[in-house]
Amino acid sequence: MSASLHSLHIYPVKSLGGIDVHQSVLTAEGLRHDRRWVITDEKGDFITQRGCARMATLVPAIDEYHLILQSPDRRHLYIPLAPPQASPSRVRIFGNECRGLDEGDEAAHWLSAFLERPVRLKRVPRDNQRRVSPERLGDHVAHTGFADGYPLLVASLSSLAALNERLATQGLPALPMSRFRPNIVIEGAPPFAEHGMTRLEGENLSLWLCKPCERCRITTINQCSGDIAVPGEPLKTLMAMDHVSAGRAFFGENAVVMQGDGQSLYTKMALRMR
């Protein structure tokens, strides 16, 4: 089945705003710079929009030397892309223990003041060993940074259109793709075809579409304002649809890299699904 790459998105700091890019380098752990940082409490437990919706309003950017975070009042935090001279410390994501390099007190104080709670900013170490679910992947070994569980999330424009059509029948507003925070958005395939396929391929590229993504309350949060416009939506509507399994809210496919480490991905790139 033919498709094309419509858009690419990275989220350098887990659960903060995203960056739309026209081109990105694929690594074995996902798109370059995607979810390489995480905000934790002082014990190392991760913090996301699930418990702090205003995280959505922190806007990231990346230049040649820095990760840059901008608050709504246009204050900026600059984090060098060069890794800090720090020993790895504890990070805990959904019960999964991994390690991160602490970005220091200046970053911690800036973020703590904005989020109104004591936090630390940590990045993925160079010797990252956080493994993607062996229970799902079997003998295939893949690693990810600070994503929930998988290094890539693939979504489809036609699937979003089908969801928005269902929302419209209830008098509810259409949602942008940003609600679902995908990395790769495809176009040209039928609605929800991604759930019946196992591979997304291009020249020297193969991604394993290995698990439908069950969605959480972050999809109810406006990714520009941090507000919840319609409580429970789109989760309630997704749970009533049967594109994967009625009664559970699925949108998009989790994926791992089978081939293509180091390759550039770009919008309008020809793809095929099988």
Taking only the tens place, the pLDDT of each residue in 132-179 is: 999 899 999 999 999 999 999 999 999 999 999 999 999 999 999 999
Residue 84 DSSP label: P
How is residue 136 annotated by DSSP?
H
For strand 270-273 and strand 30-31, is the pairing parallel, antiparallel, or unpaired? unpaired
Q: Write out the DSSP string of 49-61.
A: TTT-GGGGGPEEE
**Domain made up of 2-273: CATH architecture:** Beta Barrel (2.40)
CA torsion sign, 257 to 259 to 265 to 267? Answer: negative
Round to whole Å and give the CA distance between 14 and 21. Answer: 17
Pairing mode of beta strands 184-187, 152-156: parallel
Give the pLDDT confidence of 44-93 residue by residue, as tens digits.
999 999 999 999 999 999 999 999 999 999 999 999 999 999 999 999 99
Preceding amide of 72 cis, omega within 30: no
Q: Is residue 192 within 8 Å of residue 157, measured between CB atoms?
A: no
d(CA 38, CA 11): 10
Q: Where are the domains of the chain?
A: 2-273
Cα 152 from Cα 28, distance rounded (Å): 10
Q: What is the pTM of this model?
A: 0.96
The band of 39, judged by pLDDT with boundaries at 50, 70 and 90, is: very high
Check: CB of residue 184 under 8 Å from CB of residue 152. yes
Burial class (CB in 10 A: 0-12, 13-18, 19+), 137: middle
Distance CA 232, CA 228 (A): 9
In whole angstroms, what is the distance from residue 171 CA to residue 202 CA?
39
Q: What are the pLDDT digits (tens) for 9-35?
A: 999 999 999 999 999 999 999 999 999
Residue type, 182: P
Tokens read off for 63: 């230049």
Q: What is the mean pLDDT of the chain?
A: 96
Answer whether residue 242 shows pLDDT above 90. Answer: no
Question: Which pLDDT does position 44 carry in this prediction?
Answer: 98
